[in-house]
Structure 1
């Protein structure tokens, strides 16, 4: 299955949404614009990507 990741970026934070080909929402989160937020974003992506990510 293919997924689409949408990211809305601001100075302080960014919002992430992951939807499938049918438009069903699978994940949604708001992260801080720092290393902790980026790490959390990578964790959000892991279930939807076949290749393991490393940080």
Structure 2
């Protein structure tokens, strides 16, 4: 599997991580970005699991 396919398959996770990181940077400064990225990643994984279960 190429990198492009992996990124396309994980676009929801990438979007959630980017959004959480940007929000943390604006709200708290650079020190909060790693924590927000982890939280965003796991939130996206949960959303993806729920979407698959509902399908």
TM bracket, shorter-chain basis: 0.3 to 0.5
Larger RCO of the pair (alpha carbons < 8 Å, separation 6+):
2
TM-score (norm 2): 0.33
TM-score (norm 1): 0.33
